[in-house]
A and B are shown apart, each in its own frame.
Chain A
Amino acid sequence: MSIPTTNHTEKIGNANKRKYLLEKVSSKVFLICALLSVFTLLLIIGFVFYKGAHPFVAGGYSFVDFLLGTDWVPSEDKFGILPMIIASIYATIGALIIGVPIGLFTAIFLAEIASKRAAKIISPAIQLLAGIPSVLYGVFGLAIIVPFLQNTLGLVKGQSLIAVILVLAIMMLPTIVTVAETAIRAVPKTYREGSLALGVSQIGTIFRVVVPAAKSGILTAIVLGLGRAIGETMAVILVAGNSLIVPTSLTDSIRPLTTNIALEMGYAAGTHQEMLFATGIVLFSFILILNFVLARISAKGGN
């Protein structure tokens, strides 16, 4: 950027020299801080994958058997996580089916239909609920939902797939409502006015103009809610029942991937521990795939 015309380079004053030095040093420090997050990510992936891949690479275990095996008996050297994979998928999809429509409709209600005063009270309250530790949702599930299911459905054990689904759906609600409401409120007024002026009803306007316009924000809301549901561990342990079976009905007791790790990590050692890391890899891939799929959907939907 400098112009090489004259060789007369000005001497930089001493005070300024120090400033330039500081400038250089500080920018390097900032860079290092920024690189730290890359470093930790690599470290995490590295550690989890190294540990988790070890039994398959060095221990002679088959990864396919691991994925498709239905028996998890560490004491007998049997490590199959199919029941947990299926449990995780069922629980997540179930929570989405219940949580997303209710959450979205609530968000739409708060942004478009509720009176200003009502929204002013309800929205911050829901926001606050998004910050409540998830364990408390589990405690609630165990104390209220589980006995309720047990009594009304006449189950031996109320801890079940449906209990997990309900707890996760409730837990997603505040996140979905809060994020989606913000997205809907951000839709310009002119869109609504334009549609209303064409004689479309308020409800029609909401569903045909406002919601499509807020699509990408709504998808973000779903992704965030989903992330919360898939990764949730402790609350799920309390209501899942933790049985190692492939669930065939909503009332079966289940053990999703996350809870398997948390329940056994405390005492696992050797191959058993490595298998828990392998469970972590599966969970990790699960989330990567979901994020990828959703990113594709939102890329398609949002032009």
Chain B
Amino acid sequence: MTTSVMEHTNTTTKQNETGKGISEMEQRKDGASKINVKDLNLFYGEKQALYGVSLDIHEKQVTALIGPSGCGKSTFLRSLNRMNDLIDGVKITGDILIDQENIYNSNDVIKLRTKVGMVFQKPNLFPMSIYDNVAYGPRGQGIKNKKELDKIVEESLRGAAIWDEVKDRLKTSALGLSGGQQQRVCIARAIAMKPDVILMDEPTSALDPISTLKVEELITNMKKDYTIVIVTHNMQQAARISDKTAFFLNGEIVEYDNTDEIFSTPQDQRTEDYVTGRFG
């Protein structure tokens, strides 16, 4: 489908970086492709959940995955940092390349997960202080120096736009924060690992509208530094914050394109039905 178009754009961009030639207009916003998924099939035991999914995700963009419940979008997301490995009986075929390296070829999931951060549906801070939560990842990597940790914690909390709200209570339990604050600390916790990619699995589904807005704002600001892949149920949200949108249905990608195109001129009837709210 549109994949070939993307690859085409992709090569143009690469030329851009080296050659500085070609018109600025032609460049669009696409960076280099960060994640290449080729013909991914996933099975839970006998049951197949993903069918031949291929997708190129571009650097420093927000890519939204939309679709009705059970369409495989979360499953797909969780393949990108191999969280599906935790489930017994999961089988995967196909390729997932991040920075041209196949993540399923190496068994170093630790390295993968430090590079690919994740924010979950519900805030899942640990029952520890805010500080310890954010320092949790770096400490796991063996960083013990107090000053260094202080710096990482502050930078990460600033990066998640929550520093000002929590700087005076870093040592108090993170579970005392509101849901929206907790989710932003979760984002800070992911940022603290200095990842390239951040996966978000319906990060605002448990939040009130105001907190949701704050998180969305944050995501928009974060894309200058990170490649973000977000699963969302909320089509307005996908339209507001994402550059690219992939529409999943029954374990397949129906359509993948610039978000504007998906919402204004979808190619597939099913996409149109979904984004206009006719089913889902």
Q: A residues bordering B, Cβ < 8 Å? A: 1-3, 5-6, 8-10, 12-13, 15-16, 19-20
Contacts of A20 in B (CB 8 A): 107-108, 110
In the complex, the chain A residue whose C-beta lies closest to that of B93 is A3
5 A-B pairs closest in CB distance: A10-B106, A12-B108, A3-B104, A16-B110, A2-B104
A1 touches B90 (CB 8 A): yes
Contacts of A10 in B (CB 8 A): 101, 105-106, 108, 111
Interface of A is mostly: loop
- Indicate whether B85 reaches chain A with its CB closer than 8 angstroms: yes
Given contacts A1-B85, A3-B93, A3-B94, contact A19 B110 (CB under 8 A): yes
CA gap between A146 and B110 in the complex, in Å? 69
* Minimum C-beta distance from A12 to chain B (A): 4
In the complex, the chain B residue whose C-beta lies closest to that of A17 is B108
Contacts of A19 in B (CB 8 A): 110
Given contacts A1-B85, A3-B92, contact A8 B105 (CB under 8 A): yes
* Minimum C-beta distance from B104 to chain A (A): 5
- Indicate whether B21 reaches chain A with its CB closer than 8 angstroms: no
Contacts of A9 in B (CB 8 A): 105-106
- Indicate whether B267 reaches chain A with its CB closer than 8 angstroms: no
19 new A-B contacts, CB < 8 A, other than A5-B105, A8-B102, A9-B105, are A1-B91, A1-B92, A1-B104, A3-B102, A3-B104, A5-B102, A6-B95, A6-B105, A10-B101, A10-B105, A10-B108, A12-B106, A12-B108, A13-B111, A15-B142, A16-B108, A16-B110, A20-B107, A20-B110
Can you identify 22 A-B contacts, CB atoms within 8 angstroms?
A1-B85, A1-B90, A2-B104, A2-B105, A2-B107, A3-B94, A3-B102, A3-B104, A5-B95, A5-B105, A8-B101, A9-B105, A9-B106, A10-B101, A10-B111, A12-B106, A12-B111, A13-B108, A13-B111, A15-B141, A16-B110, A20-B110
Contacts of B108 in A (CB 8 A): 10, 12-13, 16, 20
* Minimum C-beta distance from A47 to chain B (A): 37
Q: B residues bordering A, Cβ < 8 Å? A: 85, 90-95, 101-102, 104-108, 110-111, 141-142
CA gap between A13 and B108 in the complex, in Å? 8
CA gap between A250 and B95 in the complex, in Å? 79
* Minimum C-beta distance from A265 to chain B (A): 48
* Minimum C-beta distance from A3 to chain B (A): 5
Contacts of A15 in B (CB 8 A): 141-142
CA gap between A81 and B141 in the complex, in Å? 66
B142 touches A3 (CB 8 A): no
- Most-contacted residue by chain A among B85, B92, B105 (CB, 10 A): B105
- Most-contacted residue by chain B among A3, A12, A19 (CB, 10 A): A3
B111 touches A3 (CB 8 A): no
In the complex, the chain A residue whose C-beta lies closest to that of B91 is A1
Contacts of B104 in A (CB 8 A): 1-3
* Minimum C-beta distance from A54 to chain B (A): 45
CA gap between A13 and B112 in the complex, in Å? 12
CA gap between A3 and B91 in the complex, in Å? 10
Contacts of B92 in A (CB 8 A): 1, 3
* Minimum C-beta distance from A9 to chain B (A): 5
In the complex, the chain B residue whose C-beta lies closest to that of A3 is B104
Contacts of A16 in B (CB 8 A): 108, 110-111
Contacts of B101 in A (CB 8 A): 8, 10
CA gap between A20 and B110 in the complex, in Å? 9
CA gap between A12 and B90 in the complex, in Å? 23
A3 touches B95 (CB 8 A): yes
Contacts of A6 in B (CB 8 A): 95, 102, 105
CA gap between A69 and B176 in the complex, in Å? 71
* Minimum C-beta distance from B53 to chain A (A): 14
* Minimum C-beta distance from A21 to chain B (A): 12
CA gap between A8 and B101 in the complex, in Å? 8
* Minimum C-beta distance from A26 to chain B (A): 15
CA gap between A10 and B102 in the complex, in Å? 9
* Minimum C-beta distance from B98 to chain A (A): 11
Contacts of A2 in B (CB 8 A): 104-105, 107
In the complex, the chain B residue whose C-beta lies closest to that of A4 is B105
CA gap between A1 and B93 in the complex, in Å? 8
